[in-house]
């Protein structure tokens, strides 16, 4: 299997982690390939037990169970899912009852939501359809959705009013994702509109917790939203490069390695 196809399969799974269910047409548009190509990819993922085909689309296999082996296609795909699940579990363990938390976008933050005890009293602000759908029927969760225009390619709601809402709320913890972490160039993201939301969360929370797998270190995406020194805690996996690990500790940032 080519590296290009492996990467595309991983991106399909990441999309389904965020949105639960997508059509062939939606996936093809986001990945800019033909619908026929996506159908072949979905057939492969179904054969490997990763997804379940639906009429005109797909959903993750047993996606409501965070302990299930959702990603079994190839070493890298399986590794990424297990790492994100472990990172999400460690992050959820940091949340105390009655806290107010911000949950960022990305494919790791839904694992935080899933590992939280549904009976724990919390106030949660999020801006993705995926995270909102996890919390919407939890009676002990005060759910705040920063709404706006829905971007299907990134699963987020964005608006000026949503950013202003975040700026008016004070959170105990903000769980932030990133497209890239660089010692000198800081934290970056691909979507410019997400940078505004991430920035607002960082400025409105007592504690900033970066949740990211090690593949994002020493990478730079298009839009800068924070400097590394603004982060209080980083939760990642054992693949983090030694150089960036040393830089993190020199800045006094707590580093948690999720097994």
Domain boundaries, the chain: 3-60, 74-257
pTM for the full predicted model: 0.72
Dist. CA 9–CA 209, nearest whole Å: 29
pLDDT, position 112: 94
Mean pLDDT confidence for 47-51: 73
- Cα angle, residue 83 at apex, residues 127 and 22 outer, rounded to 5°: 45
Across 30-34, 99-103, 118-122, which has the greatest mean pLDDT? Answer: 99-103
Query: What spatial distance separates the first Cα and last Cα of the chain, rounded to whole Å?
Result: 28
pLDDT, position 61: 60
Q: Is the pLDDT of residue 191 over 60?
A: yes
Least confident of 62-76, 123-137, 186-200, 207-221: 62-76
Q: Is the pLDDT of residue 66 over 60?
A: no
Instruction: Sort 133 into a burial class: Cβ within 10 Å, 0-12 / 13-18 / 19+.
Output: middle
DSSP 127-164: -BHHHHHHHTT-TTEEEEE--SEEETTTTEEE-HHHHH
Q: Is the pLDDT of residue 16 over 50?
A: yes
Q: Is the pLDDT of residue 169 over 80?
A: yes
Tokens of 161: 């009013």
What mean pLDDT is reported for the chain? Answer: 87
List pLDDT tens digits, range 121-133.
Answer: 999 999 998 899 8
Q: Is the pLDDT of residue 231 over 80?
A: yes
Fold of 74-257: Rossmann fold (3.40.50)
Which CATH code for domain 3-60? 1.10.10.10
| 38-73 CB burial, b ≥16 within 10 A, e <16 | bbebbebbeebebbbeeeebbebbebeebeeebbeb
Least confident of 35-39, 138-142, 188-192, 223-227: 188-192
Q: What percent of the chain has pLDDT over 70?
A: 89
List pLDDT tens digits, range 77-92.
Answer: 445 777 888 999 999 9
């Amino acid at each position: 299997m080519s590296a290009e196809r492996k990467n595309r399969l991983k991106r399909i799974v990441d999309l389904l982690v965020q949105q639960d269910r997508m059509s062939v047409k939606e996936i093809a548009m986001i990945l800019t390939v033909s619908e026929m190509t996506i159908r072949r990819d979905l057939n492969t993922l179904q054969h490997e037990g990763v997804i379940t085909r639906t009429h005109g689309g797909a959903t993750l296999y047993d996606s409501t169970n965070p302990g299930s082996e959702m990603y079994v296609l190839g070493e890298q795909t399986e590794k990424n899912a297990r790492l994100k699940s472990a990172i999400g579990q460690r992050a959820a363990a940091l949340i105390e009852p009655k806290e107010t938390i911000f949950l960022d976008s990305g494919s790791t933050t839904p694992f935080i939501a899933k590992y939280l005890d549904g009976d724990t009293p919390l106030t949660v602000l999020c801006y993705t359809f995926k995270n909102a759908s996890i919390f919407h029927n939890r009676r002990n969760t005060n759910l705040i959705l920063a709404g706006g225009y829905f971007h299907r390619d990134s699963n987020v709601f964005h608006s000026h009013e949503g950013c202003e809402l975040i700026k008016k709320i004070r959170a105990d913890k903000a769980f932030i994702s990133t497209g890239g972490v660089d010692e000198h160039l800081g934290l970056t993201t691909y979507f410019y509109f997400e940078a505004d939301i991430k920035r607002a969360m960082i400025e409105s929370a007592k504690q900033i917790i970066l949740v990211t797998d090690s593949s994002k270190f020493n990478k730079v995406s298009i839009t800068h939203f924070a400097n590394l020194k603004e982060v209080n805690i980083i939760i990642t996996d054992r693949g983090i490069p030694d150089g960036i690990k040393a830089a993190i500790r020199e800045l006094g940032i707590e580093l948690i390695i999720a097994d």
